[in-house]
Amino acid sequence: MSEAPLSEIFKRLIATTGPISLMHFMGESNARYYSHRDALGAEGDFITAPEISQMFGELVGLWLADLWIRADRPDQVHYVELGPGRGYLARDAQRVMKLHGLEPRMHLVEGSTRLRDMQLAQVPGATFHHDLSSIPTDGPLLVAANEFLDALPVRQLVKTDEGWREIMVDVADDGFAFVAGRQPMDSAIPEARREAEPGTVIETCPGAAAQMFEVAGRLANQGGAALFIDYGHVQPRFGSTLQAVRAHQKLDPLAAPGEADLTAHVDFHQMKQIALSRGVEWMGTVTQGAWLTALGINQRAEALVKSSPHQRDVVMSARDRLIAPEQMGNLFKVMGLAAQGWPMGAGFALED
């Protein structure tokens, strides 16, 4: 069965109903994108930390096992991963958790059936979920999410001469263009941010806020901890961070709906505020480079090289890619959360 290109569907929709919100455009584009394309890996459009090296998932597994041991090894724990991609993080984390006596039930929250098949091959016996609502409530959760929040659709508001408006997508020539919506949106902007130069953009991600609200609420009710790893900023800021990537190249976000990965930076400041409002402990938000180094990525790399000396260059360049400040080391952040009464996680003591 062949489906109409998403660009044709959007054009018809806009012709009948007028411009659609950027949030609608991004949400539909990514739903189509993740269910149809081989997005991940060297052959795909972009490469993520668990795809770069097994060390990433192993250190996440080690972090979770360490915390679980210091929490006195509760039974009936559930590993929950949001947006597991091809399943490498879950696979590598599971292997290391098992070495330390931790064998949680594996729950994968994934919207794409195609990716679910790939994840099941890496984590046989995993249970799949469309969202958090069906995750069991009978034990603590160990939650991991890497490059998940950045894929959720953002809403953008722009200051015009007439006041704040939502950024919409309209048809233009052969493609699409951003336009300001007609409806006044001033009341959606917090008063402290309302005064701004024309052209100022504020970006928010209601989907990420909702996910954080839900995860933190679950931790508060049933115990456990969570790690959110993504690219983003720790201070509130103005401006659009929307970007599109296809075949490892950036392109115009409106150029190829459904055929490129659309992402935006995660607002870790807001994520923290939401988590705190639910009564969970915030361990800190640190750079990926600092966190992986504290967890022992250098020692793990040396151990891998020792067992396979011919792989030295591959292992060391993967390590550099994950932690070097000019590569993923600084741009990517790791935020740790824990239920009250749970111990602090490793790697968060030195920064905040």
Which of 92, 147, 166, 267: binder of ligand SAH (CB under 6 A)?
Answer: 147
CB 148, min distance to ligand SAH, A:
5
In sequence order, which residues have a C-beta less than 8 Å from that of residue 39 and are 6 or more positions away?
A: 33, 45, 46, 85, 261
CA–CA gap between residue 119 and residue 108 (Å, rounded): 8
Q: Where are the beta strands (DSSP E) in the chain?
A: 20-21, 78-82, 105-109, 127-129, 141-146, 155-160, 163-172, 175-184, 201-204, 224-233, 243-246, 249-251, 261-263, 266-267, 281-287, 332-338
**Phi/psi at 284 (nearest 5 deg)?**
145, 165
Which of these segments, 14-22, 71-79, 93-101, 144-152, binds ligand SAH (CB under 6 A)? 144-152
Closest to ligand SAH by CB, 52 vs 180, is 52
Closest to ligand SAH by CB, 62 vs 89, is 89
Q: What does R_g of the chain's alpha carbons equal in angstroms?
A: 21
CA–CA gap between residue 24 and residue 10 (Å, rounded): 10
- 347 contributes a contact to ligand SAH by CB under 6 A: no
Window 269-328: residues binding ligand SAH (CB under 6 A): none
Q: Write each residue from 19 to 58 as x if it is in contact with ligand SAH (CB under 6 A), else as -, in one continuous string.
A: -----------x---x-----x-------x-xx-------
Q: Write each residue from 103 to 122 as x if it is in contact with ligand SAH (CB under 6 A), else as -, in one continuous string.
A: ------xxxx--x-------
163-172 vs 20-21, strand pairing mode: antiparallel
Which of these segments, 141-149, 246-254, 269-277, 297-305, binds ligand SAH (CB under 6 A)? 141-149
Interacting residues toward ligand SAH by CB under 6 A: 30, 34, 40, 48, 50-51, 83-85, 89, 109-112, 115, 146-148, 151-152
